[in-house]
């Protein structure tokens, strides 16, 4: 008999609606797992047991009264701690926001509540989404469920680790330069970064506003499609929110890949890619080809500049966004008895972690008079060239495939150089710079039994192509069904 915490979210919602299991029973099963498993993993920063059980009871009451329920009825969800939640502490894994209780919900949180999902709590992450390993959390590191000595990836490491270890059915992360896809690859789950503007950023604590995007982390393509349908749509409170209609994403999962054109970019076949990662990715592409997809070579000549451009643009935007944390309006305040300048310095000095300070300084430097044209303006020009490369490539193909990361999960404390850590996102950054949808799905394991991620990129607002590939691949393989011991 299948344990209810191992059912897909779609199946859980169906069983709750039909009365085969109750939302309360499902919620209690996950709370029990969190209590017994999460001390070692560190996926949750806080669990809202009281709130989750109350939400589950409301779902059960609606069903008992014969009232209609939402698409995610009773499904237990974990939220990255970058998403604002009414009456539930939200810190972005930073000391500077410790104790902050927001007065409102992010739009995606409201959408989940309207769909009758049950919110279990807030998930661990790199502070203010700045990192690739979740070692930069101000509260505790998160570990990889497949090997507790390895990182889960970042910056949505807690979101990926929680889904991989069945500590929630689905989770939401945010992706600024790979922060959904890279941890999904390291933890062996599916992570979908939607097109920029597809999902509202209202109530998302900002890192780099022109790059940030909320998306689901799930186990199956169907679950990702289901969540994307719930959280997508125009929001007038977000000036960058697209007015494009929200497709029936679930229909794409069963369409197969016959006739789909898949591109392989020479620039994403770097020598730095681990040989076992390359083998598993090549085998996955061969599987798609066997299903009727056509595989072609494409060129993305400016991809090699993505890392440099990203680490000018993102820190520049971060330096501006994080200036609001000053000890005056909300969050931590130190040195009340000193001058205003000293209060600013002590609050920000002690409230921000090392990596956050590093990126604020990088961004401030790039925006200084005399440096703006040489750095920030030049990076934005490169960004345009990267977007044009993708436009030209997508004239010939529907999807571009590559490894999600050059290696499988690395060890806790292994990467001590910031540049070495930044290079973990070398394949994911260009997607955000161009505003494209991207996905990572598990395509096998290396000899150490660590998951390997296949990355798929599609043209703007064409998430259906990604879901077609994922739905077909998961129908002919069972990598996604495997769980950590």
CATH number at residue 213: 3.90.1300.10
Residue 438 has pLDDT above 90, yes or no: yes
Contact predicate 264/297, CB 8 Å:
yes
Q: How many distinct structural domains can be found in the chain?
A: 1
State the pLDDT at residue 272.
Answer: 83
198 occurs within a structural domain: yes
Give the mean model confidence (pLDDT) for residues 293-316: 97
> Phi and psi of 52, rounded to 5°?
-65, -45
State the pLDDT at residue 396.
Answer: 98
State the pLDDT at residue 407.
Answer: 97
pLDDT digit string, tens, across residues 359-372:
999 999 999 988 99
Exposed, middle or buried: residue 232 (CB in 10 Å: 0-12, 13-18, 19+)?
Answer: buried
pLDDT digit string, tens, across residues 233-276:
999 999 999 999 999 999 999 999 999 999 999 888 777 899 99
Element (H, E) at 457: strand 451-457
State the pLDDT at residue 50.
Answer: 98
User: DSSP state, 450?
Assistant: -
Q: Is 2 helix (H, G, I), strand (E, B) or coil?
A: coil
State the pLDDT at residue 270.
Answer: 74
Compute the distance between CA of residue 140 and CA of residue 418 in angstroms, rounded to an integer: 19
330 occurs within a structural domain: no
333 occurs within a structural domain: no
Q: Beta partners for 400?
A: 263, 457
Give the mean model confidence (pLDDT) for residues 150-170: 98
200 occurs within a structural domain: yes
Domain carrying residue 458: 4-300+389-481
337 occurs within a structural domain: no
370 occurs within a structural domain: no
> Phi and psi of 185, rounded to 5°?
-65, -45
Give the mean model confidence (pLDDT) for residues 40-66: 98
409 occurs within a structural domain: yes
Give the mean model confidence (pLDDT) for residues 66-89: 98
The number of beta carbons lying within 10 Å of the beta carbon of residue 328 is 12
State the pLDDT at residue 1.
Answer: 55
Confidence band (pLDDT; 50, 70, 90) for 474? very high
pLDDT digit string, tens, across residues 136-154:
999 999 999 999 999 999 9
Please indicate, yes or no, whether the overall pTM of this predicted structure exceeds 0.85. Answer: yes
349 occurs within a structural domain: no
- The tokens describing 156, both together, are 């949505």
pLDDT digit string, tens, across residues 313-360:
999 999 999 999 998 888 899 988 889 999 999 999 999 999 999 999
């Amino acid at each position: 008999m299948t344990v209810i915490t191992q059912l897909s979210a779609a199946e859980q919602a169906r069983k709750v609606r039909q009365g085969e299991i109750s939302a309360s029973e499902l919620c209690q099963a996950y709370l029990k797992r969190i209590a017994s498993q999460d001390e070692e993993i560190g996926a949750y920063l806080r669990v809202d047991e009281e709130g989750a059980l109350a939400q589950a009871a409301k779902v059960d009451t609606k069903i008992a009264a014969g009232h209609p329920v939402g698409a995610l009825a009773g499904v237990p969800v974990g939220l990255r701690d970058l998403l604002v939640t009414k009456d539930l502490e939200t810190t972005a894994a930073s000391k500077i926001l410790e104790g902050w209780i927001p007065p409102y919900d992010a739009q995606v949180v409201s959408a989940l509540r309207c769909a009758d999902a049950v919110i279990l709590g807030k998930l661990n992450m790199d502070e203010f989404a700045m990192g690739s390993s979740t070692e930069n959390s101000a509260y505790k590191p998160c570990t990889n469920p497949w090997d507790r000595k390895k990182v889960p990836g970042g910056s949505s490491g807690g979101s990926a680790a929680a889904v991989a270890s069945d500590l929630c059915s689905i989770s939401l992360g945010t992706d600024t330069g790979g922060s959904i896809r890279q941890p999904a690859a390291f933890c062996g789950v599916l992570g979908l970064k939607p097109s920029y503007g597809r999902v509202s950023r209202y109530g998302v604590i900002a890192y780099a506003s022109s790059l940030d995007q909320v998306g689901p982390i799930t186990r199956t393509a169907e679950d990702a499609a289901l969540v994307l349908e719930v959280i997508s749509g125009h929001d007038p409170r977000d000036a960058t929110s697209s007015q494009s209609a929200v497709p029936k994403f679930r229909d794409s999962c069963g369409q197969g890949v016959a006739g789909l054109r898949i591109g392989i970019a020479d620039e994403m076949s770097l020598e730095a890619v681990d040989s076992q990662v390359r083998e598993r990715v090549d085998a996955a592409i061969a599987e798609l080809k066997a299903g009727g997809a056509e595989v072609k070579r494409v060129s993305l000549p400016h991809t090699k500049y993505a890392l440099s451009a990203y680490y000018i643009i993102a820190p520049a935007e971060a330096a501006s966004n994080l200036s609001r944390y000053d000890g005056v309006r909300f969050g931590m305040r130190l040195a009340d008895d000193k001058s205003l300048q000293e209060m600013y310095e002590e609050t920000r000095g002690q409230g921000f972690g090392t990596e956050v300070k590093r990126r604020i300084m990088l961004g401030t430097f790039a925006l200084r008079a005399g440096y703006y044209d040489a750095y920030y303006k030049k990076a934005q020009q490169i960004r345009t060239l990267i977007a044009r490369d993708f436009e030209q490539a997508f004239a010939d193909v529907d999807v571009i495939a590559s490894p999600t990361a050059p290696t499988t999960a690395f060890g806790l404390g292994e990467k001590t150089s910031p540049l070495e850590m930044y290079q973990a996102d070398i394949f994911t950054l260009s997607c955000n710079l161009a505003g494209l949808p991207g996905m990572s799905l598990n395509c096998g394991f290396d000899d150490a039994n660590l998951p390997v991620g296949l990355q798929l990129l599609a043209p703007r607002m064409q998430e259906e192509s990604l879901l077609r590939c994922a739905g077909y691949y998961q129908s002919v393989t069972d990598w996604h069904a495997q769980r950590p011991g």
